[in-house]
Structure 1
């Protein structure tokens, strides 16, 4: 019997009852830690970009892609927070003199920076 294209490419079959089922497995992928931003982007891909999600998953690049997105988002968030702190004149002296005001202003900056990161990287 002539080999199928699947067999020529190195595939093999497994007999289940009267049927031959191709043994298909996803390619092995190096596990990398994925943080908050990576998980948010994964949820976004699953809900709104299903084709991209499926392509990344079946090619074995999903984990590295999400780890890269997570790293980019974290770096962008830190740069934005530092830039906004300098622009608004928030210093350690303010923290020492009026801690409550410092906390309020820092929370505002962090919320603004998170919104920018979400818009530019996570949900884009």
Structure 2
């Protein structure tokens, strides 16, 4: 009599006298995952283990992380542009006072990074 695993097309291999099921994760399209996706992956592994395992075993983890990365990057860029306008950080400032422009842009990027982390990466 075949086991349920064998009825579903599963196979076994023998190790030290034991039959071990040949388990494979479903294949999924490889997509590049940027910094945002890597941060979210670390978060899932540490704090959302069930979600991580479900995405991994369903073969959807890579696609999910690539999508999170895209959303986070778009949000980050929109936030920076909005903050630059509100704070009057212009190309003219960059030409006239590069040091001040750099400091203000670093501040804007840090604020935008915190917002993206809060809204998307660690949510």
Q: Secondary structure at the match of 2:20?
A: strand
Partner of 2:53: 54
Deviates more, 1:14-23 or 1:100-109: 14-23
Q: Secondary structure at the match of 2:19?
A: strand
Give the drift of 1:65.
0.7
CA deviation map 1:14-43 (0-9, x unaligned): 122322111111111211111111111111
Q: Secondary structure at the match of 2:83?
A: helix
Q: Mind listing any 5+ residue stretches in structure 1 that lack a counterpart?
A: none
Q: Secondary structure at the match of 1:25?
A: coil
TM-score (norm: length of structure 2)? 0.96
TM-score (norm: length of structure 1)? 0.95
Taking only aligned residues, the RMSD between alpha carbons, in angstroms, comes to 0.9
Q: Secondary structure at the match of 1:30?
A: coil
Give the drift of 1:68.
0.6
Alignment partners' CA distance in 1, 2:68 and 2:84: 24
**Following superposition of structure 1 onto structure 2, how do residues 9-88 of structure 1 map, counting pairs within 5 Å?**
9-88=8-87
Alignment partners' CA distance in 2, 1:11 and 1:76: 44
Alignment partners' CA distance in 2, 1:60 and 1:50: 15
Q: Mind listing any 5+ residue stretches in structure 2 that lack a counterpart?
A: none
Aligned residues: 123
